[in-house]
A and B are shown apart, each in its own frame.
Chain A
Amino acid sequence: MSDKKLDLRTILKANKGDDLKLSNPLITASGTCGNGEELNDYFDINKLGAFCTKGITVDAQKGNKTPRIAETAAGIINSIGLENPGVDTFISEILPQCREYSLPIFANISGYSPEDFLTLADKLNDRPEIAGLEVNLSCPNIKGGGMIFGTDPEKVYQISKKIREIYSGYIIVKLTPNITDITSTALAAQKAGADAVAMINTLSALKIDIDKQEPLLANTFGGLSGPAIKPVALKMVYQSYKKLEIPIIGLGGVSSGEDVLEFILAGASAVGIGTINMLEPTAALRIIEEIKSYLRKHKIQKLSSLIGAAH
């Protein structure tokens, strides 16, 4: 099959506004790719399916004390603590840079209270630079923050519903895996009118420095990401696919074309790439080639024909 016939496009269906058409299923995972500029030094980020910004909050945050990162087997534990310049600076300084790119961009928003999410949704509504919001109801690294809302289906519903009333663009609710049944929060987001869910955020984790005999991270706990968490994420996508009508963005440890295909076969319409970018900034280009080579080998023309095919 010639490369011209290979079709990597995927559609993120919207329940309210326009569907989002992505040239391929790869979306950068928030917090692993800055705001595009750094990665764009290594390759043209328009080659991605979509881009998701570093998480923003209402006010500027300096983040947690260092050390903020610990390594574990095939994974990292981070507790950055949402360091960001705040939404007003995001709008005045970062959004203008976003105009230089032609791919859909999602702004990742985080809050310390339900009101924070509404303030952010309001300030970002109708911004032409962004296609939508990724609502981070699952950050494990802020005190009293996102993850507390994200583990309670009722709170997920309430916050998502209020954001839906304010924000007219595409809404992705990003879910935490630190919960007994992720389908309960996924269904709550769907019921509230979210366009899609992203799963999973990091798994709550700990690393101890045995020389100092104390937790390595200044913040004690952090979020585990990287290849180590992929099977957990994949299981959650598989488990949610048949229960949900809205698209799933699958993420967690994706590092290869094979990983992307697993997530798509499990039921993801698009796939996030995160930690891999930190060690291989051009990973997206390699992954796209690996997907193409799989499609050629199996004589499959449309990648999207594989969504949920493992069920």
Chain B
Amino acid sequence: MYEIFSNKEVGPDIYHLVLKCEGLEKEVKAGQFFNIKLSGINSYDPLLRRPLSVFDFSNESKRVEFVYKVVGKGTEILANYNPGEKLDLLGPLGSPFSISDRQSANIHLIGGGMGIAPLYLLAKKLKDLPIKVFLGAANKAELDFFADKFKNLGVEIHLAAMEEKLEIKGTALRLWDNYLKSELPSFVYCCGPEPLLSAVEIKALKEKIPGEISIEKRMGCGFGVCLSCSCESRNENEKNKRACVEGPVFAFGEVKYCE
């Protein structure tokens, strides 16, 4: 059980949750997630935990942070938790982004909607490299919190919104695509809805640029037993990959998209 330090609304229906995690022994890596129980003790509604990607983690201050949008029953319950209350978390779970062999320049991070959240901890780990961040959401209000955080890291960021013109009016994909005309990256990380992942991957592979995506799948357990979040491998001879164990981070070309 981890105590809530803060749980504040930082955008329209978007919340920033900070937990104290003194008892946590494992290191938390960018791209990993925690599975949060939102029914009370001896209560089973909602039955399943809700997986949230880690937005930020500090081993020194023992804080783990998440950014989530209220989209349904689970997140609605979560938004009503107050500082001082405790949450039952499983994790850290899943395979993280690979960052150890990223000495090369020109790394692009592309995030759409709440898929932006896990890219922050990643950017923090890569911030000594010349990285460029491309973020898209419905409107500016959904991006403000993220934009400030990324700016504070001192990394270059580009913003797009569907409903109003920022750098462009449109998706993160179009924003990035425009930029590709002037510079090809050497590695790409992407998180967001499947159409974004799929399109970024197709473009990158065409230019022979390697990269990784983080996929969101409907999960059951989050630790590999139920096979609800299976992703079909692109390699016909390989068995399915579990988004919760082998993922949620996959290399470009590793899994098929379907939703």
Contacts and interface: CB of A to CB of B under 8 A. Distances in A.
Nearest to A278: B221
A281 interface: yes
- Overall SS of chain B's interface: loop
Interface in B23-72: 37, 42, 44-49
B225 A39 contact: yes
B11 interface: no
Contacts of B46: 71
A68 interface: yes
B225 A277 contact: yes
A227 B225 contact: no
B37 to A, nearest CB: 6
Contacts of A278: 48, 220-221, 225-226
B235 to A, nearest CB: 12
Contact of A32 (B44, B226, B258): B226
Interface residues of B, number: 29
B239 interface: yes
Interface string B182-222: 00000000000000000000000000000000000111110
B194 to A, nearest CB: 11
Contacts of B223: 38, 41-42, 281
Interface string A56-90: 00001011011111110111101010010100000
Contacts of A66: 217-218, 228-231, 258-259
Contacts of B37: 279-280
Contacts of B224: 34, 38
B220 A62 contact: no
B173 to A, nearest CB: 22
A83 B42 CA distance: 31
Nearest to B72: A71
A80 B239 contact: no
A256 interface: yes
Contact of A67 (B45, B47, B259): B259
Contact of B220 (A54, A60, A76, A281): A76
B227, B229, B258, B259, most chain A CB atoms within 10 A: B227
Contacts of B47: 71, 74-76, 226-227, 275, 279
Contacts of A189: none
17 contacts: A31-B227, A32-B225, A38-B224, A42-B223, A62-B239, A62-B240, A66-B229, A68-B218, A68-B228, A69-B226, A70-B218, A74-B47, A80-B226, A227-B47, A278-B226, A279-B47, A279-B48
Interface of A: 31-34, 38-39, 41-42, 54, 60, 62-63, 65-71, 73-76, 78, 80, 83, 85, 226-227, 255-256, 275, 277-281
